[in-house]
């Protein structure tokens, strides 16, 4: 029997695990101070049951992504059958004086070892503090458009 949409156990489904460990971009949805919605593609990592994003501390999105903020995340593959993992969660932010531990590995996963190391070197050379944005899921949805369709479960 399939897990009901909303159940965190969906995060353990093999398809969810494939998406969570892929190099697909996550799409992060949140609301900014003026009340308008934003959605942005962003690199992510899946660590210890949380979706992790990293950013330089001066990024505008961090004015909205503060401890306790609720957000939505979508990770989907752009080919048939378009599997899609949806997560709703709560933000927790941690400050770092430099590059967030694990960010190098995330960069390498997305753009390869050579360019990942060059990218992280450029970030390190800026000498800017960074923030680790952890999203603790409280809701998960999974659609594979074969056995799980929107509106079911």
3-state secondary structure of 57: coil
Tell how far CA 92 is from the center of its chain.
Answer: 13
Domain count, the chain: 1
Has residue 1 got a pLDDT over 90? Answer: no
d(CA 41, CA 60): 15
- What does pTM read for this prediction? 0.90
**What pLDDT, in 10s, does the model give residues 78-130?**
888 889 999 999 999 999 998 999 999 999 999 999 999 899 998 888 888 99
Determine the structural domain holding residue 46 and report its residue range. 8-143
Tell how far CA 130 is from the center of its chain.
Answer: 16
In this prediction, residue 38 carries a pLDDT of 96
CA–CA distance from 50 to each of 12, 31, 47 (Å)? 12, 20, 5
Residue 92 lies in a domain: yes
d(CA 82, CA 76): 6
Residue 148 lies in a domain: no
């Amino acid at each position: 029997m399939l897990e009901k949409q909303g159940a965190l156990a969906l995060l353990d489904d093999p398809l969810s695990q494939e998406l969570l460990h892929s190099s697909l971009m996550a799409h992060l949805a949140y609301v900014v101070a003026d009340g308008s919605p934003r959605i942005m593609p962003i690199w992510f990592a899946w660590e210890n049951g949380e979706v992790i994003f990293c950013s330089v501390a001066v990024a505008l999105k961090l004015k909205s992504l503060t401890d306790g903020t609720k957000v939505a995340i979508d990770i989907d593959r752009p080919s048939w059958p378009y599997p899609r993992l949806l997560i709703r969660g709560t933000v927790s932010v941690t400050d770092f004086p430099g590059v967030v531990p694990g960010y190098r590995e995330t960069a390498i996963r997305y753009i390869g070892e050579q360019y990942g190391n060059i990218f992280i070197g450029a970030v390190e050379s800026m000498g800017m503090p960074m923030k680790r944005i952890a999203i603790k899921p409280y809701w998960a949805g999974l659609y594979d458009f074969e056995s799980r369709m929107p509106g079911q479960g």
